[in-house]
Amino acid sequence: MIFHFFANGTKLTYAAIGVGLLIAVLYFKLFFKDLSGFEDDAENASNIPMVDPDYDYVDSRWSNGKITIWILLSVGSGIIAYYQLPDWFPHLFQK
């Protein structure tokens, strides 16, 4: 199924995916600095209040919020690029 999607993709689809990935990389550096920062936030977001003795509500919510905002910005940028690129570059991307 995924092979079929990529085999029949258009330039617009590939460009939108590229924009989404570029935004994901740029905001990854902004939000998490490096991979260890992301791992710390993922660990904080997955802590359970009654089970983990070092649970901190504020850290857990902040980490969860950062990850959610990062994902939404990346996916949203790809979706917006899909709909806006044909208007910005009509000679290059035609629906």
Write down the pLDDT at residue 60: 86
Q: Residue 29: enclosing H or E segment and its boundaries?
A: helix 11-32
**How many angstroms separate the Cα of 68 from the Cα of each of 29, 51, 73, 76, 88?**
15, 23, 9, 12, 29
Inform me whether the pLDDT recorded for 95 exceeds 70: no
Half-sphere exposure of 11 (CA within 13 A, CB side): 9
Cβ partners under 8 Å of residue 9, min gap 6? none
Q: What confidence category does residue 2 fall into, taking pLDDT thresholds of 50, 70 and 90?
A: low
CA distance linking residue 62 with residue 70, whole number of Å: 12
What is the tens place of the pLDDT at every residue in 40-79? 989 888 877 777 777 788 888 899 999 999 999 999 999 9
- State the pTM of this model: 0.82
